[in-house]
Amino acid sequence: MNEIHVVTVFLYHTGKIALVRRSARVGTYQGRWSGISGYLEGDPDEHFPVEIAEETSLQRGDYTLLRKAEPVCVLDEELGRKWMVHPFLCEVADPSRITLDWENLELKWVAPLTIREINTVPGLWEVYETVSEIALENEISAFVQQLKEDKTSGARQLALFSLNFIANLCRISNAAKTEVLIADIARANDRIRSVRPSMIIIDTTLELLMRDIPRYRDISEAQSGIRALVQWHREELESAVEKSIEHLKDIIPDGAKVLLHSYSSSIEKALLILKDKGCSLVITESRPGLEGRRTATQAAELSLNVELITDASLFHILKDVDIVLMGADGIEKDGTVINKMGSAMIAWCAQALGAKVYILAERRKITLRDEAFPLEEGDPYEVWDSPPSGVSVKNIYFEKVPPACICWIILERGVVKPQEIMQMTV
């Protein structure tokens, strides 16, 4: 089977692409619809403008290269040919400047999905998919679904996963211009932020990343530069919690009885400090996900004295507790802390019974936005998989802990009162 290399250019304008119908004078696929295409001569990046000029009369200043992709193999058993198609996507400023040559009979601007409905050259849709935004959207949708379904990772872990995704997006991107790549990242960030809105650290981290991206001139420089920037943000994110935990040594009394709620990657890392301080632990189950069991298991593996309790027995147990130590999924500008459902009840009860409430967090968990963040709800199935008719089940994942119930918020740069948060910049 002969291997033949060709270029195919999809012209784009206001959401539509240009398809041309091949004339009877061309060697193959007469009468079928195609992009601007021709046999490859030399470097694909240098040759595709030649095909555009020959078939449409457009010159380099009449269009902008947006995307390009790796060659796509299209087999035609009948002709005995293996077409290696090098795809390009270009935006046309003024379609009226197009003049067709003898190779094509007519041109029409269509919605991309039209490709799947008409008689085209072989593999045209598959070629378009690789050089369009479709591949990007599929990647984003898959990652967003992964975030949505992840009920075990903490907010900081999900922020790290999100940074990893952006780094991978740079690596696999079909963007041919820096501006297109950055727009793709911004689109991905918007989708990611929306799926776990109560986890403010995700929103803050992605916003800080976007602010730090410089004006790269070259696309390859941008791809490598943004990946390096992502790595810097990863390292800062990972080191922040270690610095916060160090402050625990100064404020946790030796031998204190400490209550922990739910699971937090920050609290997990703090268990060694609590062990060194000789603390005993009370850990809530944290229904309906029972994340407290995970925390209890990790604490027991470190030989800490651990007591697991049901959420409903909090008031009874809190009278003997010295410190309530919780993580945070987010912190609003007035010092309000967003954390797993049950956190506010614990904080109110602790305040009433004289136990101190400490929040272990990082500055990236402080929101950059003025508006209040919504509280996520989970699948009712997690609470009751088959409720009787007439019973509606609500499964709210997060709630807000009022600043008045919190003694200290422990950040990497020090220990602060909730009311001091509004003076801070992330």
Percent of the chain at pLDDT > 90 equals 90
What's the pLDDT at 14? 96
> In which band, very low, low, confident or very high, does the pLDDT at 373 lie, cut at 50, 70 and 90?
confident
Binning pLDDT at 50, 70 and 90, where does residue 32 land? very high
Residue 403, SS3?
helix
CA distance 399 to 60: 56
This prediction has a pTM of 0.86
What pLDDT score does 1 carry?
74
Has residue 422 got a pLDDT over 90?
Answer: no
CA geometry: angle at 142 spanning 136 and 144, to 5°?
100
Which amino acid, 362? E
Mean pLDDT score, 342-362:
96
Mean pLDDT value across residues 185-190? 96
Above 80 in pLDDT, residue 426?
A: no
Residue 151: predicted pLDDT: 83
Note the pLDDT of residue 374: 82
What's the rounded mean pLDDT across residues 76-91? 95
Q: What's the average model confidence in pLDDT over 177-191?
A: 96
- Residue range 231-261, pLDDT digits in tens: 999 999 999 999 999 999 999 999 999 999 9
Beta strands in 278-322 (DSSP E): 280-284, 305-309
Q: What's the half-sphere exposure (Cβ side, CA atoms, 13 Å) at 369?
A: 16
Tokens representing 227 are 């990946």
278 pLDDT tier (thresholds 50, 70, 90): very high
Question: Mind listing the pLDDT tens digit for each residue in 410-419?
Answer: 999 999 999 9
Mean per-residue pLDDT of the chain: 95
- pLDDT in the model for residue 423: 86
pLDDT digits (tens, 9 = 90+) for 135-156: 899 999 999 999 999 988 889 9
For the chain, give the percent of residues with pLDDT over 70. 100
pLDDT at 135: 87
Name the DSSP letter for residue 344. H
Question: Which domains are present in the chain?
Answer: 2-132 (3.90.79.10), 135-243 (1.20.120.420), 247-423 (3.40.50.10470)
Task: Work out the average pLDDT over 123-145.
Answer: 96
Span 354-377, mean pLDDT?
A: 91
By C-alpha distance, which of 325, 320, 335, 316 is closest to 400?
335
Contact of 394 with 380, CB cutoff 8 Å: yes
Number of Cα atoms under 13 Å in the Cβ half of residue 30: 6
pLDDT (average), residues 171-190: 95
Q: What are phi and psi of 48, to 5 degrees?
A: -60, -35
Is pLDDT of 40 > 90? yes
Of 95-109, 233-247, 298-312, 371-385, least confident by mean pLDDT is 371-385
